Structure 1
Amino acid sequence: MIPVFLTATVLLTAVFTFLNGFRDVSSAVAFAVRSRALTASVAVLQAALFNLIGVVLAFPVAAAVGTDWMHLPSGTSGLSLLVSALASGIVWNILTWWKGMPSSSTHALFGGLFGAGLAATLKGGNDIPQAADALWTAVGLPLLVSPVAAFVLSYALVWPVMWIARNIQPSVVNRRFRRAQAITAGAVAFGHGLQDGQRTFLVMLAALLAAGYDDGQSLAPMLVALVAGAMTVGTLFGGWRISHTLGHRMIRVDPLRGFVTQAVGFALQFAGAIGLGWPISTTHTMTAGMWGAGSNQRFPETNRKVMIRILGYWVATPLATVAMAFIVQMALTALL
């Protein structure tokens, strides 16, 4: 059964990664397209390219981090946890895309891992050792802190940037910041690939270890090709439902505030991936950052109903994936 579950894990990882690129491309391009810094086609092509570069560079980072925070049981017991988590994340990502709501694939994945581990424990099997502590310190806390940091930093940085541009004509300011947005949109896509590629590689490495293979270094080219290919293809297809919500329905901002949001988002992504080893949700940081930057204007045009719905989906994401993964794992445990 180990080859069957390993194959299922690989296939589900590919689907999950495709959906990650498909949905999260909106976070990188929505504001640049909305402010006309980039056309939609150019923005998606740029996002796909920089996503690809970020994913390729993510593998050595993931290999250095290792899977110490997630010691899976060996054999089908460990692989079934990943199957349950990935399946629940895929279902939730499709649902939120259909609703046009930005939500975190990272929250969905780790919520699924927690739900699957809980089911395994209740069934008397091996759970993920110290799962609660690991998920909180390595995943939960960073994912809660990052959107708050994005909101505060984006709100605060609007003032100094506006002060620098205070003596420049508005048309010139908008033109210059559209150009800057074109650059930071690529940076956000690169940060997304670096962040989410790293987590996908960690799942793949954990699956190989649970299946009894080596640490994955010998399979590095195959893993990189699979993850980078799935992420890039997903990005090229693009999930414009969510992009419309972020760029048009949530809040209206100018190119200056769009640039601030993207710069803050990339800085948090890069610091999390390289400096702190924290998982940072691109969707959460970009959404919260735009909310913060857009709130710091004389007449903020925040659509409060949309923001309340978005926040509701953020809260529901870990709860829903915990529940779905719990059910799937209970079913798989009964079959094993």
Structure 2
Amino acid sequence: MTIALLVAVVVFTCLFGFLNGFRDASNAVGLTVRTRALTPSIAVVLAAVFNVIGTVTSAWLLDYFGGQWLTAPSGTRGLVVLLATVVGASLWNVYLWWRGYPSSSTHALVGGLVGATLAEVIRGQAFQHGLADLLWLQVWLPLLVSPLLAFGAAFFLTSFTTWIARHSQPSQAHATLRAAQSVGTAAVAFGHGLQDGQRIIAVLVVAAIGNQGDWAGVPGWIVTLAALALGLGTLAGGWRVTYTLSHRLIRTDPLRGFVSQLVTTLMLFFGALWLRWPLSTTHTVAASILGAGSNQGYAAIHRRLLTRLVAFWIATPLATALLGLVLALALDPLVR
């Protein structure tokens, strides 16, 4: 039974990674395709390649990042917790993709982990301390801070970029900014792999090795599975979410697309490499798009869509916690 559970955790974690790349491809390619800086096919291939590179890099840096945020009981019970976590997060991600709403896969994963861990408490296991800190540091604090920072930075940087390009012909400025957006696509995809790739690797390490796994020496097969899952998902491309970000949410142009990608890249690298914050690529991209797009006379924000989007961001950890709780309790007979 233990082997079967381990295989199930690996399979569903790879599925979660595939869905992560599938849904979050829009973060890297949405604006680039919208402003015609790259064709859709070239954009997704570029994003997939740099997602893979970012995932491999995150494996090298995992000892620096630390995987201590992810803990599970030892043995079969730990595998059940991890299985409920990734299945719950995957189900929620599929639902939001179907609705066309971008949301954080990291928050879905953390919410599922908290719910599955609480199921252990209901079954009479010892309460795991640190759950409140996990939710605060991994979900609520980044959710409160990163969208506000991204919105404000993009809003003011748009004015600065417009001032720099004030003497350029619009056609010339747009051509230059479209070229810069191509680089921005690669940078955002690399930052996404750096942030989300480490989470997929961490789940696989805890499942296969345990909480005391050597974060400095992650097995090559784990890195390969995580990179392939994220890369193949990006190649598939979740165009429903892309359409929401690049067309439905707000109007944009090459200048504002460039500013949004610049802010997203800086925040992902700043958060991942300096603060070691689990910043959500989705939240950062969406907020920076809104910030850059709001700095124009015809912003035309889709306010009802924005309200629903924020509501789903808040609901994500709560919904996946409930799913993780229910799934862990349903899987309880496997460990009796």
Class of the TM-score when normalised by the shorter of the 2 chains = over 0.9
What is residue 328 of structure 1 aligned with on the other side? 327
Q: How does 1:1-336 map to 2 (within 5 A)?
A: 1-210=1-210, 214-215=213-214, 220-336=219-335
Distance 1:335 1:233 in 2: 32
Q: Is the 8 A contact 1:19 1:93 kept in 2?
A: yes
1:316 counterpart letter in structure 2: A
2:254 counterpart letter in structure 1: P
Distance 1:49 1:318 in 2: 29
SS of 1:273's equivalent in the other structure is helix
RMSD: 1.7
* Closer, same or farther: CA 88–43 of 1 in aligned 2, 3 Å: same
1:68 counterpart letter in structure 2: Q
**Normalized against structure 2, the TM-score is what?**
0.95
Distance 1:173 1:154 in 2: 18
SS of 1:14's equivalent in the other structure is helix
Deviation at residue 2 of structure 1 after TM alignment = 2.5
Distance 1:13 1:323 in 2: 19
* Closer, same or farther: CA 226–48 of 1 in aligned 2, 3 Å: same
More moved, 137-146 vs 295-304: 137-146
**Normalized against structure 1, the TM-score is what?**
0.95
Deviation at residue 121 of structure 1 after TM alignment = 1.3
1:302 counterpart letter in structure 2: I
2:205 counterpart letter in structure 1: L
Which consecutive residues of structure 1, in runs of 5 or more, have no partner in the other structure? Answer: none
Distance 2:215 2:231 in 1: 22
Distance 1:23 1:253 in 2: 21
1:240 counterpart letter in structure 2: W
Q: Is the 8 A contact 1:70 1:129 kept in 2?
A: no
1:288 counterpart letter in structure 2: A
Distance 1:314 1:233 in 2: 25
Equivalences, count: 335
Q: Is the 8 A contact 1:139 1:278 kept in 2?
A: no
Deviation at residue 71 of structure 1 after TM alignment = 3.2
* Closer, same or farther: CA 3–129 of 1 in aligned 2, 3 Å: farther
Distance 1:247 1:122 in 2: 44
- Deviations for 1:161-217, whole angstroms, at most 9, x for unmatched residues? 11111111222111111111111111101111111001111112222343x885376
SS of 2:301's equivalent in the other structure is coil
Q: Give percent identity, aligned residues only.
A: 47
Distance 2:208 2:42 in 1: 37
SS of 1:279's equivalent in the other structure is coil
Q: Is the 8 A contact 2:89 2:108 kept in 1?
A: yes
Deviation at residue 72 of structure 1 after TM alignment = 2.1
Q: Is the 8 A contact 2:261 2:285 kept in 1?
A: yes
Distance 1:189 1:150 in 2: 17
SS of 2:214's equivalent in the other structure is coil
* Closer, same or farther: CA 218–289 of 1 in aligned 2, 3 Å: closer
Q: Is the 8 A contact 2:66 2:215 kept in 1?
A: no
More moved, 300-309 vs 140-149: 140-149
